[in-house]
Amino acid sequence: MPFGLCNAPRIFQRCMMAILHDMIEKTMEVFMDDFLVFGYLFSSCLSHLDTVLQRCEDTNLVLNWKKCHFMVKEGIVLGHKISKNRLEVDRAKVDVIAMLPYPTTVKGVRSFLGHAGFYQRFIQDFSKIARPMTHLLEKETPFVFSKDCIDAFETLKKKLTEAPILVILNWNLHFELMCDVSDLAIGAVLGQQKTKHFQPIHFACNTPKLGRSGMLGLGRVTS
């Protein structure tokens, strides 16, 4: 089935899940036509890779060897640079976003927010910062790329280029969730104490559609 059809991605993902179902989350991960095989030791990784490749051969899956990378300690997967203990943005994609000019249409605003939003887990208070621009997407709102929009645009690009390195969660350590609430947005950061320092795992932020008067607070939960 060609990818041009509207249901093709869903059908292809279902097909891949059916073929590799017994290995997913145990020795590999799969998304559409991309899959990642992992192991804690070189020998185990090699064994897992052999099993996956044999399954591909048995089910007539054809691989593009030019796009394959074997036995690496870090690499780019679905727009993220991942390794054993950390997660980073793909600098090549961030550099492209940093070069974008100011949007001149609603479509341009939506496109920029889509690209920047892909990395919002790396940006604290993303929705709060982007609020002047998301306001332009609301129905019957005149398109005026104001100074607030310009400031938001430049701030998001700057934060992307300075995006922090996120740590990979450790199920053996306690999680800490820090929350911040205001009239404009609800923000949170999930992290863990490693080497006596709080290290972020994921940033989250959302702007409620219906504001609550006096909604202000700060919280921290450890579990």
Domain ranges of the chain: 8-72, 88-161, 166-222
Convert the pLDDT of each residue in 46-87 to its tens digit: 999 999 999 999 999 999 989 888 988 888 888 899 888 889
CB 200 within 8 A of CB 166: yes
CB 203 within 8 A of CB 122: yes
Residue 211 has pLDDT above 60, yes or no: no
**Residue type for position 112:** F
Q: Quick one: pLDDT at residue 216?
A: 46
Alpha carbon distance 208, 206 (integer Å) = 6
Convert the pLDDT of each residue in 185-209 to its tens digit: 788 889 998 878 888 999 988 877 6
Q: How many residues does the chain have?
A: 223
CB 180 within 8 A of CB 218: yes
**Helices marked H in the chain:** 8-20, 42-58, 91-98, 106-117, 126-134, 147-161
- Average of per-residue pLDDT across 109-120: 93
Q: Which two tokens stand for residue 186?
A: 């609800």
- Average of per-residue pLDDT across 14-32: 92
Residue of 212 and 86 predicted with greater confidence: 86
Fold for 88-161, please state it.
Answer: Alpha-Beta Plaits (3.30.70)
- Average of per-residue pLDDT across 102-117: 94
The label of the residue with tokens 């179902």 reads: 21
Alpha carbon distance 137, 109 (integer Å) = 8
Q: Which two tokens stand for residue 19?
A: 């073929």
